[in-house]
Amino acid sequence: MHRPVLLVIAHGSRDPRHAATVHALVRRVRSLRPELRVETGFLDFNIPSVPGVLDSLATEGVRDVVALPLLLTRAFHAKADIPAVLADADPRLRIRQADVLGPSPLLLAALERRLYEAGLTPADKSSTGVVLASAGSSDPEAIAVIAAIAREWRHTGWCAVRPAFASASLPRTEDAVSELLALGCERVAVAPYVLAPGFLPDRIARGAARADVLADVLGPAPEVARVLLERYDAARVPVQAAVGA
C-alpha cells in the first residue's frame, strides 16, 4: 500500500530542549508505525529546515507528502506560515497539509498523564483546581479553543479548570493560580498545554510558583504520538485518491 511520507513541521527554538523533545516525539511515532517514513523539519532556528527537507525528498524521487504542523491550535503558523512554505515546494511534490493536533481527547489524556506523573492521583481530582496553561495567541479562534478545552476538562471531575496564557492573551498562569486558590480548591496544579520546553513554557513554570503541582510539557507522551498518526491517516486519504485517479 502506498504511504506518503510524513513530514512533521515544528516551530523551532533557540532552546536546545525544544528540538530534542521534537525528535523524541518523532522517534515514538516511528516506534508505533515502523513501516512509515517520518521526517522532521523546522520553520526557524533549527535544522533541517522545512524547505530543505522538501527539496531533498523531491530530489530523492518522493512524490507524496503529508505535512503535519506540530501545533496544538490553528493560529498564524498553521494558517499562514506553513501553507506559504509548502506552496513554494518543488512542484513535483504532492503535499497535503494535515490538521493541527488539538483539540483531541488523547491530548486531555496526555495532560492527565503528566499531572499524575507529577504526583497527583485520580482520587485528587475532585479537590484539585487545574490551570490549563498554553503558550498564548493573538488569534481569537485559538483562544476560544483553549477556553473550550478547559470547560470540557472541568466536566471530567476536577474541582475547577481555568485557562491561562504565557503571551498575547490573559490571564497569566499566576493569575489563574490565584483565582483557584481564592476559589477554595484544596490544591492547585498547573498543566502546560505545550509540546516542548522553551521560553514560554519557562514563563508558565515561573507563574506556577504558588501552585502545589507543576506538570511537565506534553513532549513525547504516547497519546501525542497517537494524535500525530490520527492526523496523518486523516490527511493521507485524499493523497491516495489523487494517486489512484
- The DSSP element (H or E) to which 39 belongs, if any, is strand 38-42
Any long-range contacts for 153-160 (C-beta under 8 Å, 24+ apart)? 153/108, 153/111, 156/108, 156/125, 157/125, 157/126, 158/125, 158/126, 158/128, 158/129, 158/130, 159/125, 159/126, 159/127, 159/128, 159/129, 159/183, 159/185, 159/186, 160/129, 160/130, 160/185
How many other C-beta atoms can be found within 10 angstroms of the C-beta atom of residue 1? 4
Per-residue pLDDT, 222: 98
State yes or no: cis peptide before 171, omega within 30 of 0.
yes
| Closest among 211, 210, 175, 171 to 191, alpha carbons compared | 211
Per-residue pLDDT, 2: 76
Per-residue pLDDT, 242: 44
Per-residue pLDDT, 79: 86
Instruction: Measure the CA–CA gap between 136 and 200, rounded to whole angstroms.
Output: 9
- Segments of the chain with pLDDT less than 70: 1, 238-245
Cell of 233: 491517516
pLDDT tens digits along 91-127: 999 999 999 999 999 999 999 999 999 999 999 999 9
pTM assigned to the model? 0.94
